[in-house]
Amino acid sequence: MKTLILSLLALLVVSQGCDKQKSAPGGTTAVTIDRDRLLAQLRSDHDLYAKAWNEKDFTAISSMWAHDPDITMWDATVRERIQGWDGGNGVEAWYRRAFDSMNDIDFHIRDLMIKVTENGDCAIFTLYVENTFTDRQGNRKTVNPRVTVVKELRKGEWKIIHGDASYGVSEMVK
């Protein structure tokens, strides 16, 4: 009787643990994700990114990016790929140059769409940015790039591993 009760208790514990995972095709284990909660978290994180731009908060921006040598960024204003966190052509240097060239930043995100991979460890963001700022010469400017961001879940934290800003041909030919 004691063995039966322990067996049933063990079965109950195992079944509760497996409730969060389902068997996927091929015998692998798929993770069940609360997509609504995850999307809300990712939207909130991206709002913090916009806030960091407005405040020129380099520390916050730095914490949002992976610091790998193979992260990448495309800037619509230059041809060369920005690669790695460190170095003169790295993501860190790009943000420092951008922040140093601007005053009075008013950075907004609109039409944010987020696609999360099925296993929930990668997310692709597409959005429009409206960034109005005063440059160091006192000129007021607005840029409106289309932006794509790729984030990867690493040890419970979402890190940016790629960013891309682009403009349509009609915007460039004006």
pLDDT tens per residue across span 1-51:
333 333 333 323 323 333 333 444 555 555 677 888 989 889 988 899 999
Q: Radius of gyration over alpha carbons of the chain, in Å?
A: 22
pLDDT band at 167 (very low <50, low <70, confident <90, very high): confident
Report pLDDT digits (tens) over 44-76: 888 999 999 999 999 999 999 999 999 999 988
CB 108 within 8 A of CB 129: yes
Q: What is the pLDDT of residue 27?
A: 52
Q: What pTM does this model have?
A: 0.78
- For all residues of the chain together, what is the average pLDDT? 82
- Of 153, 93, 163, nearest in space to 122 by CA: 153
